[in-house]
Amino acid sequence: MKNGIHPDYHRVVYRDRNADFAFLTRSTETSRNSIEWTDGQTYPVIDVQISSASHPFWTGRTRVLDTAGRIEKFRAKYARHGK
């Protein structure tokens, strides 16, 4: 690798405040805020709005869509045009 052309790659904590979930990883992202991690070290913290702990797909809390009502509405709307 060439020196001086790559961004700083360091440890950061990503925190999902909605789910009270955080994880330590490596990233080029920076932050002015910091947090003390469980190992006693202080790392920059990046707050995210959604993570695997709060995303409906990963948590199993998906919304149920009323597809039957939508299909009936569509058929009723276009039934009069097909005759």
- With respect to residue 2, please indicate whether it lies within any of the assigned structural domains: no
CB 13 within 8 A of CB 30: no
Where in the sequence is the domain holding 69, given as residue range(s)?
10-80
- The domain tally of the chain equals 1
CB 56 within 8 A of CB 62: yes
Question: What is the pTM (predicted TM-score) of this model?
Answer: 0.61
- With respect to residue 21, please indicate whether it lies within any of the assigned structural domains: yes
- With respect to residue 5, please indicate whether it lies within any of the assigned structural domains: no
Q: What is the mean pLDDT of each run of 10 residues along the chain (83 residues)?
A: 85 88 91 93 89 65 64 79 63
- With respect to residue 68, please indicate whether it lies within any of the assigned structural domains: yes
CB 32 within 8 A of CB 45: no
Task: Name 10's bridge partners.
Answer: 27
Closest CA to 29 of 16, 46, 43: 46
* Helical spans, DSSP H, in the chain: 56-59, 67-79
